[in-house]
Amino acid sequence: MPALNKLYQQYKEQVAFYVVYIEEAHPTDGWQMPNNIKDHVLVASPHTLEDRNEAAHACVVKLGIHIPALVDDMQDSAERAYTGWPDRLYVIDRSGRVAYKSKAGPFGFHPDEMAQALAKLVPPANPVKQTH
Amino acid sequence: MRKTLVYAVPVVVVYGILVGGLFAAMLQPPAKFGRIMSRLPSVTFFLFPFEPMWLMARKGNLKVGDMAPDLALKTADRSAEVSLSSFRGRQPVALVFGSHT
């Protein structure tokens, strides 16, 4: 998440940056993960849109996400259209075409690849000063 | 030699069936796949080439260069509805799909 927050800070003036909160990957009522139990990350699958909104809000706060969050609908339209589960990154260019699509997470989730795709589309507004 | 085959062939066949079954599970909707995985022992990860199978099963239909499907979603604080198509011709969009867990 720090890497994505940093990208957001860098590009937020020129790029519409969003987190899309989709169905939980490892909810307590589904495929629970031992490390989540250890870390007390216990989230049940939201069954109503209201629950999902609340879960999205809690997720953003707990994970310290600065990127604005959108919430998928209960038909999982966004997840299905973009094969987003459990996590995935996309960059869409100005003409509305897919410029970068990561491989499926968790294995394919690489913010550095997204950074490269963004750098190709826009010159950074706040370039990191390099010392030589 | 023949004795080895007698044991090896069934093992290979059973392994093939299990790989096929796991791949079929990966093609299910996420919630269903999650329910199936929650019942399988964690040795599943080591016994099968989970990562390449997962990347193949979750490839999706969208390709680089395709028009991005429109989404109209509410923000988490419900203050606004954002439509992806509204950025067309104006600015690029970066999307981070994910959940808490």
For residue A43, which phi and psi values (nearest 5 degrees)?
-130, 125
Q: What is the rounded CA–CA span in Å between residue A129 and residue A127?
A: 6
Task: Confirm whether B90 is domain-assigned.
Answer: no
Burial of A19 (0-12, 13-18, 19+ CB in 10 A): buried
Number of A/B CB contacts below 8 angstroms equals: 212
Q: What is the rounded CA–CA span in Å between residue A43 and residue A54?
A: 11
Read off the pLDDT of residues B73-99 as tens digits, 9 standing for 90 and up. 999 888 889 999 999 999 999 999 999
Instruction: Provide the domain limits for residue B16.
Output: 2-63
CB A66 within 8 A of CB B75: no
State whether residue A69 sits within 8 Å of chain B by CB. Answer: yes
Q: How far is A53 from chain B (nearest CA, A)?
A: 5
Give the pLDDT score at A124.
55
Task: Confirm whether B84 is domain-assigned.
Answer: no
For residue A38, which phi and psi values (nearest 5 degrees)?
-60, -40
Q: How far is B79 from chain A (nearest CA, A)?
A: 11
Give the pLDDT score at B44.
87
Q: What is the rounded CA–CA span in Å between residue B85 and residue B95?
A: 13
Burial of B82 (0-12, 13-18, 19+ CB in 10 A): middle
Q: What is the rounded CA–CA span in Å between residue B90 and residue B32?
A: 38
Read off the pLDDT of residues A88-132 as tens digits, 9 standing for 90 and up. 999 999 999 999 999 999 999 999 999 999 999 987 555 555 555
Task: Confirm whether B20 is domain-assigned.
Answer: yes
CB B101 within 8 A of CB A24: yes
Give the pLDDT score at B4.
84
Give the pLDDT score at A45.
87
Task: Confirm whether B73 is domain-assigned.
Answer: no
Structurally, how many domains does chain B consist of? 1
Read off the pLDDT of residues B6-55 as tens digits, 9 standing for 90 and up. 889 999 999 999 999 999 999 999 999 999 999 998 888 889 999 999 99
Task: Confirm whether B34 is domain-assigned.
Answer: yes
Which residue ranges form the domains of chain A, and what is each CATH number? 2-87 (3.40.30.10)
CB atoms B76 and A107 under 8 Å: no
Q: What is the rounded CA–CA span in Å between residue A74 and residue A55?
A: 13
- Cβ-Cβ contacts under 8 Å, B33 against chain A: 31
CB atoms A92 and B51 under 8 Å: no
Read off the pLDDT of residues A23-56 as tens digits, 9 standing for 90 and up. 999 998 888 888 888 888 888 888 899 899 999 9
Give the pLDDT score at A130.
52
